[in-house]
Structure 1
Amino acid sequence: MTVSIIIPCHNESGNLETLYTRIRAVMEQTGESWEMICVNDGSSDDTLLQLIALHSQDKRVKIIDLSRNFGKEAALTAGLDATLSDAAIPLDADLQDPPELIPELLAQWREGFDVVNAVRLSRTGESWLKRASAHVFYRIVNRMSEVEIPPDTGDFRLLSRPVLDALQALPERRRFMKGLFAWVGFRSTNIYYHRAPRHSGKTTWNYWQLWNFAVEGITSFSQVPLQLAAYLGFLVSLLAFLYAIWLIISTIVYGNPVKGYPSIMVTLLFLSGVQLMALGVIGEYLGRIYEESKQRPVYLVKQAWGMVNAPNTILADDIHK
């Protein structure tokens, strides 16, 4: 195949038929050989049944069924690991990223670019808080990281075969894919588009999950939080040293009156908060080391339909269906 379109799916039954129809129409216009690798990430609705029906209708629709819900980053990794094509295009199943942009991605690839990012100019259908937090997140992580992550860019992009090989060689298990896409490097360019609202259904991402996703991104590509904890500890120690000098001088000059209870409590609570915050930052990085040390696979495949290559498959006999 020339192009693999990688689609992580979690409870996307209302979007699959329209998604397939639009992808097929676009790809037939390009004249490229293509496949659509759909990764069922532990869906609780009839997503898998619909995917099987599409596979029966068109063998270019291929399915990887994970053993449970591993999360979008793991599902995307499963699809990228399985592709043997010259290029891959990750695409969300909710149709917020239009398949009609694929010819533009392919055109830039033909010009010699290994990575073609699709940058969002607007995000219709999302709350101002989500748009603002996403805008701030990309700016913060780029200030804290040595790797420049393209701002306002999701997973929708084209990745050439050398980039796919580089991604498959990375051993880490807790994966922040947007950062990994940037970390591997290679020649890249951008195209721009306006993101549409979801075609059907509601997003399963809440603000707590988005917060954890942001923490994952920052801790994956930056040690600045550890450095900030150290700087904060140094600053508190310096203030405590200056306060001790002031106490000595005030005692010599004015005597030693009994200090009040509120000032003692404020000092204790402040120092305790600083210590707990520093321990929390260290614990976040220590947790990442612990997860990596166990060397568990990023995902497990329960079954696969139409796949020649499906790593981490539990039941090898089910790989060809």
Structure 2
Amino acid sequence: MIPIDVDLQDPIEVIPHLINKWQAGAEMVLAKRIDRSTDGHLKRKSAEWFYRLHNKISTPKIEENVGDFRLMSREIVENIKLLPERNLFMKGILSWVGGQTDVVEYARAERVAGSSKFNGWKLWNLALEGITSFSTFPLRIWTYIGVSVSALSLIYAMWMIIDKLMWGNPVPGYPSLMTAILFLGGIQLIGIGIMGEYIGRVYTEVKQRPRYIVKNKKTMME
């Protein structure tokens, strides 16, 4: 199966090269753009930042500058069809399914006619879907923020106590009040982060992705 965009930017001349890689044993052949010169500056930069962030906090990692244009073996397609998820971030799902993967590089052409209907808002939503589909880090980060806020407020409170005991300076009212508020706020963020950990685990479980994808089975008699 070879999905391809209808805007004619992906040259069909690449398809025989994809098929050759598949015939050589690859189960997934990625069509990777050499560069993104056909995209605007903002789109190139936002794509670069997305790939960098996604591959840092999510598993599995996805290949940069690869769109939907690729070759998938029948086995890969059937494995994807078995997934019970409704909202599929296909780049991540295809990387998760795995299989022997190869790459064919190509130069993407300019758009033949019209303009892309995939605007910045849709790209933003796609990026959010990609990160939240394969990472619980956005939930976990609140634990880190809460610990940091609580630790800093506690350090400042200790400094005010030491300043009072050693130099006799009066404890100012407003800073001490803000320190207490920040400390309690940090504790609340830690609580939210802990709840986020459990929510993230539930979110992962309800996807019901299989632990393994069995390629073939052999008995001891074979």
2:40 is aligned with 1:127: yes
What is the TM-score of this pair, normalised by structure 1?
A: 0.55
2:163 is aligned with 1:250: yes
Amino acid of the residue matched to residue 230 of structure 1? T
**How many pairs align?**
201
For residue 209 of structure 1, the aligned residue among 107, 118, 122 is 122
User: Hey, what does 1:34 align to over in structure 2?
Assistant: none
Q: CA deviation at 1:218?
A: 1.1
Structure 1 residues 115 and 242: CA distance shift in structure 2, 3 A: same
Higher-helix-fraction structure: 2
Q: CA deviation at 1:139?
A: 2.1
Q: CA deviation at 1:272?
A: 6.5
Correspondences of 1:130-149 after superposition (within 5 Å): 130-149=43-62
* CA–CA distance in structure 1, aligned partners of residues 154 and 182 of structure 2: 18
- 1:129-173 C-alpha deviation (Å, 9 max, x unpaired): 111111221122112123121111111100001100110011111
2:98 is aligned with 1:185: yes
Structure 1 residues 243 and 265: CA distance shift in structure 2, 3 A: closer
User: Hey, what does 2:78 align to over in structure 1?
Assistant: 165
What is the TM-score of this pair, normalised by structure 2?
A: 0.77
User: Hey, what does 1:107 align to over in structure 2?
Assistant: 20
Amino acid of the residue matched to residue 182 of structure 1? S
- For the 8 Å contact 1:123–1:197, the answer to whether it is kept is no
* CA–CA distance in structure 2, aligned partners of residues 198 and 120 of structure 1: 14
For the aligned residues, what is the CA RMSD?
3.2
* CA–CA distance in structure 2, aligned partners of residues 267 and 239 of structure 1: 11
* CA–CA distance in structure 1, aligned partners of residues 35 and 187 of structure 2: 39
- 1:272-292 C-alpha deviation (Å, 9 max, x unpaired): 69978x96995xx77x94xx7
2:117 is aligned with 1:226: no
Structure 1 residues 174 and 274: CA distance shift in structure 2, 3 A: farther
Gaps of 5+ in 1: 1-87, 294-321
User: Hey, what does 1:70 align to over in structure 2?
Assistant: none
Any idea what SS the aligned residue of 1:198 has?
Answer: coil
Q: CA deviation at 1:258?
A: 6.1
Structure 1 residues 232 and 109: CA distance shift in structure 2, 3 A: same
Amino acid of the residue matched to residue 63 of structure 2? P
Higher-strand-fraction structure: 1
* CA–CA distance in structure 2, aligned partners of residues 133 and 262 of structure 1: 40
Structure possessing the higher relative contact order (Cα contacts under 8 Å, 6 or more residues apart): 2
Gaps of 5+ in 2: 208-222
For residue 113 of structure 2, the aligned residue among 200, 224, 235 is 200
What is the percent sequence identity of the aligned residues? 47
* CA–CA distance in structure 1, aligned partners of residues 186 and 31 of structure 2: 42
